[in-house]
Amino acid sequence: MTDYENHPAVNNLRNYIRIRSVHPNINYDECINYLKAQAKELGLPYQVYELVPKNPILVMTWEGLEPSLPSILLNSHMDVVPVFEKSWTYPPFEARLVDGVIYGRGVQDMKSVAIQYIEAIRRLKNKGLRFKRTIHLSFVPDEEKGGKNGMKNFVKSDYFKNLNVGFALDEGLASPDDSYIVYNGERSIWHINVICPGK
């Protein structure tokens, strides 16, 4: 069996899970510092945008060979939903590794994806590969609360327009069987208030 305890990509994920970016009132500083260090390790330039105070967005950029072409966006959110700690077998922010399984809030939704993007980019860069299109990795806040302070605002900004995104990847969902789930659209959510006045 692989020695997961000493596997750099596994450690990278476990360290990211240990950052308590949990609602409510998240302080994103530790996340942002962690991601800045990742960008430096990868040798990628990054920008931090703070369109809404306390809700920073970090974007790392790997420039393509034809940077005028529309870019690829690999998006992930940094926040996770709250926990009811008593119901957990292992502490949710310890990222415990038990029999080759990682336990922790955010390991599915979606810190694994964030670090998978980073590790994939690291591998491609280490092979000396370059691609036609520029790749941006964005790390956004507030998704679990609807993205009002995160992506919703960001897509309307000039910063986002300047990224010239042509195609994006974001989170999907786990699948219990052998298939992989791919989402190409989303249902719109309509909240309806029904008022029933009594007689």
Partner 1 sequence: KTDNSNPFWVAFKSATDKMNLKLDIRIFPGGTDSRYVRRVGIPAIGFSPMNYTPVLLHDHNEYLDAEIYLKGIDIYTQLISAIANV
Contact flag: residue 57 with partner 1 (CB under 8 A): no
- Contacts with partner 1 by CB under 8 A: the residue count is 82
Closest separation in Å from C-beta 116 to partner 1: 5
- Residue 124 contacts which entry, Zn ion, partner 1, none (Cβ below 5-8 A, type-dependent): partner 1
9: Cβ–Cβ under 8 A, 6 or more apart, which residues? 115, 119
Contact flag: residue 110 with Zn ion (CB under 5 A): yes
> Judged by CB under 8 A, which of 6, 43, 68, 178 binds partner 1?
178
Distance set, CA 67 to CA 61, 132, 135 (Å):
11, 7, 9
Q: What are phi and psi of 120, to 5 degrees?
A: -65, -45
Checking DSSP bridges between strand 135-140 and strand 71-77, what pairing results, if any? parallel
Give per-residue burial for 135-157: e unless 16+ CB within 10 Å, then b: bbbbbbbbbbeebebbbebbeee
Q: Binding segment for partner 1 among 30-38, 45-53, 146-154, 191-199 (CB under 8 A)?
A: 146-154
Q: Which two tokens stand for residue 48?
A: 């931090």
Q: Which of residues 102-131 bind partner 1 (CB under 8 A)?
A: 102-110, 112-113, 116-117, 119-121, 123-124, 129, 131
Q: Binding segment for Zn ion among 19-27, 29-37, 101-109, 115-123 (CB under 5 A)?
A: 101-109
Closest separation in Å from C-beta 43 to partner 1: 17
Active-site residue set = 79, 143
Closest separation in Å from C-beta 198 to partner 1: 34
CA separation for the pair 16, 12 (Å, rounded): 6
Torsion of CA 106, 123, 175, 144, to 10 degrees: 30
Where along the sequence are the contacts to Zn ion (CB under 5 A)?
109-110, 171
